[in-house]
Chain A
Amino acid sequence: MNTPVTAQVETLTKLNDFVVKFANINGSGSASANNMFAKAVFRMGIPVSPHNIFPSNIQGLPTWYEVRINEAGYLGRREGVDLAVTMNEQTLAKDIAEVLPGGYVLFDSSKPLPDELIRDDINFLPIPLTEICLREYEKPAQRQLFKNIVYVGALSAFLNIDFKVLTDLVGDQFRGKEKLILPNIHALELGHQYASENFQCPLNLRLKSSNKNEGKILIDGNTAVGLGCVYGGATVASWYPLTPSTSVVDAFGKYCKRLRIDPGTGKSKYSVIQAEDELAAIGIAIGASWSGARAFTATSGPGISLMQEFLGLAYFSEVPVVLFDIQRVGPSTGMPTRTQQGDLLTCAYASHGDTKQVLLFPATPKECFEYAIDAFDIADRLQTPVIVMSDLELGMNEQICDQLHWEDGRSYDRGKILNAQQLEEIGKFGRYVDVDGDGIPYRTYPGVHPDKGSYFTRGSSHDANAAYTEDGNVYAEVMDRIAKKFRTALNYLPEPEISGMHNKLGIIYLGTSHSAIGEALDSLGRRGIMLDTLRIKSFPFHDSIREFIDKHELVYVIDQNRDAQLKSLLKIELDASPASMHSILSYNGVLITAQHIERAILESMPELEASNDVPA
């Protein structure tokens, strides 16, 4: 066996601050084992952020699971790997090359490592995983699956994971399938035992229990969205399966099965319709919303493209509807299982003609939950589509966030809806009359009154009473009133989060770029570069964003796309000078890192020679 000697190599010494990257073959059962590892770190009270980098495939292609552990609470991705678990021969060379000097490679030593892959600046942790499993398990499937659990067991010895935390996790995971508990614990013990007997454990890279996760949960954004839809009162979900949005509706359905069954009759207070395509998915949601149910659909870029026509209809005929866009890499099919903020412009002006859509930008799973609930209120209040812009990184990866909260006593804001009695009182009803001067008209549900309140909803030009018109002036009046409604919208949309206004430099960002900001700012701060931050939470933009740009000499705008879509939107909407904004772009399909932001800012400094604040 070609086992590299590790003794002479200098080792990384890190406590509660490192990156473990698992390289696996998808479909091999590694996901649950890797998840168990991340969750064990979480239960030890240490901040942790797993990032799943997976293929658009069911079985056989490379997949990675990157776990960042950081006591200081930096939960973005960090470049470089401190410990690699290499379980995939296809990517072995690349996986070993990524390990930082002094780092570790845990590999299956049942087969020798090719000489050319051996580095003399890192440490190898050979464990004969295949041999152990061949010896211990009889069924071929078990021999494959338990390899994953054995390496988690070994890691528990190497990294000093509380073994009881792991065995408790196994118990939780297999509750109801008790006969699986013992074999899994046995596998963990096998790994732990082998590592302890053959290596000096723990390594200098190690964990120590902490208390940083009090009141926190580890949850993915899509599950939080699904729960938000339950709490927000959605009764109709219509969708077409599309990665990475599928788990939104899966979660909604799962929680509805528990929480939305009428105890007396056993009947359902919800309906999930798997539509024939995304056009039908949003059409169903629009039809249901029009008729007064809270309805939503979830999709990703390709679905957004297909939904354009219906989004224009809902905009112009003023039908509320909630849409979750879990963005992935485009254009076209793109990289279906990688992350991007690439749908910003498409969604902001979705559909032909003069349109504009309300967008919300959650940055954490907790915000996914809250914005899902708010989206229904906002859509009902404004009578227009609301698109919640998540992405694959936020949607499909577990993240630490504050626990979810629902304010008991909060009521749904169903907006301006007239019931039969109100129709009797007001006399004449006009669907698109701006009664209150805020651009938001009143609507009625079908069947409300025997002879008052009916109207004809249409995507063709209409007057204030919803009657068809080809009078250009009447059309323009309606369009102007809708524009006014979008100014009113700002009263109902979350304000940007601004750190301050005292520095000369600012940084504007939204969504998952949030995960890297704190770390980047701290690091830049140590170099004497101070920046104010503004996190955008909604579109149309609040005036405070323009103010922020105006009050800074230069504002960095972070976009996780090639074409600086957020910067474009700021230029279009706020008439902000291009010279006042500098783009930081990231579009390689994985979450932007603090290091990337820091590098981009440092590289831009020569352009700021006029400013004496910038270090040479």
Chain B
Amino acid sequence: MSYITKPRFHHPQLKTNEIGLTRRDYEGTLTTLCGGCGHDSISAAIIQAAADMSLEPHRVVKVSGIGCSSKIPSYFLSKAHGFNSVHGRMPSVATGANLANKDMYYVGISGDGDSASIGLGQFCHIVRRRVNMLYIVANNGTYGLTKGQLSATADLGSTTKSGEQSQYENIDMATLAIELGASFVARSFSGDKAQLVPLIQAGLTHKGFAFIDVVSPCVTFNNTDKSTHGYKNTWENYVALSAVDYVPMKQEITTSYAAGKEKEITLHDGSVIRLHKTGNNYDPYDKENALHHINENKKLGKIATGLLYINQGAADLHELADTVDKPFNQLNEHDLCPGNDTLMDINDTFR
């Protein structure tokens, strides 16, 4: 959204990745968000994730709705096409774009207002529809652009800067996503890049609908001690159900962990998510177990984070629709038009 041009020069010895690109090649325009906004950390995490896994920037499609969160796609991967759509309707635009070309990486960025209120219906249905994409909600419990109203993810009793206290139960986007059939569900914190970056990499690689609910504090309107979405509360009550490493397909797996302490999840392209258990009975393959852990933590005022649930066996939208391998946007008259002889036969059925 910036109209200040970002300088493009960089240090001549900046490290390049496997496809010869530097970190700078994954950046976007200059941010216009407030200094210290959690959302900028999400942009930075996406840039790092994509650069480190040597993703070709132009193979990514960025989609968003409206709000502070939905500005994020401007701030990373300027070589990728982006679509800043209408409020709460990013899921439908993402669904359509994905239908048109199955061969791209889709990254949807939304916020709690965009996805938990005005767009809750579209959110639920894109989860159900199993669109192959990474969907990130930058969740700050407030409406920043309109100056600090409570959002639907604000916890009961949480208080904004203006002193407004939430009187309603919150919507937990992660449990909702698990319930509705998302095959990759994680929660993280914009302040914990070590956790967030591998989750983004795994989510991008995962085939199916990958969802990450990222607690991303609004420094201007919802960062008080009484806000459950502020930095203080999040740092104090942040529980990682698992620690995650992402090992790209090409990288030889050398590190080893003590037996029984880690679990390796091989993604469809051969990449591996290495899950380090944190001493509880947490099992990311078990939906009920995941929901149980999230809810138990919530009762204690804790925020359960990490990879919460994964199911690698679920078919995505294109598999369910059994679409041809060639992307729809590359099909032409020859592929699509049945011709006049066939039409003459069809005419005969209307006589």
Contact = CB atoms under 8 A, between A and B. Distances in A.
Nearest to B329: A292
Interface string A265-276: 111110101011
Contacts of A408: 339-340
B122 A276 contact: yes
A233 B58 contact: no
Nearest to A262: B324
Contacts of B332: 233, 412
- Between A236, A276, A284, A287, the greatest number of chain B beta carbons within 10 A of the residue's beta carbon is seen for A287
Contacts of B129: 273
Interface residues of B, number: 64
B331 interface: yes
A126 B130 CA distance: 60
B319 to A, nearest CB: 10
B103 A447 contact: yes
A313 interface: yes
A233 B336 contact: yes
Interface string B239-278: 0000000000000000000000000000000000000000
- Between A284, A292, A404, A408, the greatest number of chain B beta carbons within 10 A of the residue's beta carbon is seen for A284
B343 interface: yes
Interface string B78-121: 11111111100101111111111101100000000000000001
Interface stretch (A455-463, A479-487, A546-554, A598-606): A455-463
Interface in A442-492: 444-451, 454-460, 467-470
A217 interface: yes
A529 interface: no
Contacts of B93: 283-284, 286-287, 290
Nearest to A287: B96
Contact of B96 (A227, A260, A289, A403): A289
Contacts of A407: 340
A470 B325 CA distance: 43
Given A405-B343, A447-B103, A269 B335 contact: yes
A282 B86 CA distance: 12
A477 B265 CA distance: 53
A36 B267 CA distance: 58
B9 interface: no
Contacts of A372: none
A556 B158 CA distance: 65
A612 to B, nearest CB: 49
Contacts of B98: 287
B336 A447 contact: no
A457 B82 contact: yes
A513 to B, nearest CB: 24
B1 A468 contact: yes
A259 interface: yes
B81 to A, nearest CB: 4
Nearest to B318: A271
B64 to A, nearest CB: 9
B89 A283 contact: yes
Interface of A: 42-43, 213, 216-219, 227, 230-231, 233, 235-236, 238, 255, 259-260, 262, 265-269, 271, 273, 275-277, 279-293, 295, 309-310, 313, 403-408, 410-412, 444-451, 454-460, 467-470
Interface of B: 1-3, 29, 56-59, 61, 63, 73-74, 78-86, 89, 91-101, 103-104, 121-122, 124-125, 129, 321-325, 328-333, 335-340, 342-344, 346-347, 350-351
24 contacts: A217-B351, A230-B337, A235-B328, A235-B336, A265-B324, A267-B325, A269-B336, A276-B121, A276-B124, A280-B89, A283-B86, A283-B122, A284-B96, A287-B92, A287-B95, A289-B100, A290-B93, A291-B101, A293-B329, A295-B96, A310-B86, A467-B29, A468-B74, A470-B3
